[in-house]
Structure 1
Amino acid sequence: MTAAQAPGQQAFVTLNGNLKTEAWWVIADFQPFTTEVRGIPASQIRKSWCKATEFRKDLIPKELMFENGADAMKGAGMSFAIEGRFDGGATKQIAVVGVFQECAGQKGRFMLVLDQPDGEKPRIRFVDAVRTNRQFAALSKGKGGKLVLWGCMECDGYSVLKWDRKKNRFGWEPQAEEP
């Protein structure tokens, strides 16, 4: 078992399994310790949430993030946060992933797309949250500026999010082709 300590907090990441036989992101258990994401209170993201912590590389032990001295996520073209104009508009947006904990105790992973208007507080544009014991998530950019949400670093477990101009909202694409 390995643990990463967030400053003044319980371990953010614990591993429940054997790193010799399983990938770290499969056996990782994350403990959210913050009550807001990018200045937005967890309870404003979802009413049932008491904690939500955005994944950041500095919260995860370097020995997990780096393989043979190389950044494994960067090598896979993945990140925990990606900036862009995902709806094609003028306002910059950021997509982030992390772990939440409901006030009743259940945990899961989330993905947010936030508008980042200049000089203003970020505004929620899209929320996807799933209760799960496997909270790891990462992002990459797909074809045509689409966002790709991954549940692991070396697998086919992904979902593609795109802006639907007709419906004027984000939506998941059916998984038919490579991101």
Structure 2
Amino acid sequence: MLIGKSRVLLLIVFFFAGCKTTQTETLSRKPNEAWWVSETFTPSEANIKGIPVTQIMPDWKLALLVNEDYLEERLSESQFRDIQKSKLKFDLQINLDDTANEETVVVGVYEASSGEKGKFIAIFRDSKFIKLFSDAGDAGYSSIFLEGNQIRWYKCMECGDFDSILWTGSDYVLQ
């Protein structure tokens, strides 16, 4: 009898342990848990910071700066809280090249005349365009973070992968 009760008890323990694992797996697949991976943005502006996108990149037709104001309107409250908790930013005021005026660094998405879409990071100073780096693919999330003398360009909110933008003494480069 004792062996039979032990087996029943063991089956009950395994049943509840299995239910707990299933519940955890379901909770980790909530649609808003990794919104930045699947969220895409629609380029809709002909100018970036007052400059026609065709002056920044001749084959572009539209672009959109992605920043906190835009995301606050677009995302759910819980998704926007992810943004507020993060150390990652969508624009920076910095002085990488040691000139008298700071650079403004922004991220966004673009659409080319060919229909190609992607992400970009652009550098401006005194309302003038300085440098652009782009990544063709989806017109989705990207953000930036200042680490020492480099800007890290993240294309995922919780991933460790990033590109670095550095001032070499004569130009900004992407590494």
Distance (whole Å) between structure 2 residues aligned to residue 136 and residue 172 of structure 1: 18
Distance (whole Å) between structure 1 residues aligned to residue 32 and residue 84 of structure 2: 23
Partner of 1:109: 119
**Which of 38, 55, 63 matches 2:49?**
38
Q: Cα RMSD between the aligned structures?
A: 2.2
2:153 matched to 1:149?
A: yes
Q: Is the Cα–Cα contact under 8 Å of residues 113 and 124 in structure 1 kept in the other structure?
A: yes
Q: Is the Cα–Cα contact under 8 Å of residues 90 and 107 in structure 2 kept in the other structure?
A: yes
**Which of 166, 172, 175 matches 2:174?**
172
CA deviations over 1:6-63 (Å, ceiling 9, x no partner): xxxxxxxxxxxx7538611111111111111101111011000010110022222568
Deviation at 1:130, TM superposition (A): 1.5
SS of equivalent residue, structure 2 residue 40: strand
Partner of 1:135: 140
**Which of 31, 38, 46 matches 1:20?**
31
State the aligned residue count.
147
Partner of 1:158: 162
**Is there any run of 5+ residues in structure 2 with no aligned partner, and where?**
1-28
SS of equivalent residue, structure 1 residue 135: coil
TM (norm. structure 2) is 0.75
Amino acid in the other structure paired with 1:169? D
Partner of 1:97: 107
Structure-2 change in CA distance of 1:21 and 1:50 (3 Å) = closer
Q: Is the Cα–Cα contact under 8 Å of residues 122 and 130 in structure 2 kept in the other structure?
A: yes
User: In percent, how many aligned pairs have the same letter?
Assistant: 22
Amino acid in the other structure paired with 1:147? I
Bigger CA radius of gyration: 2
Q: Is the Cα–Cα contact under 8 Å of residues 141 and 156 in structure 2 kept in the other structure?
A: yes
Q: Comparing both structures, which one devotes a greater share of its residues to helix? A: 2
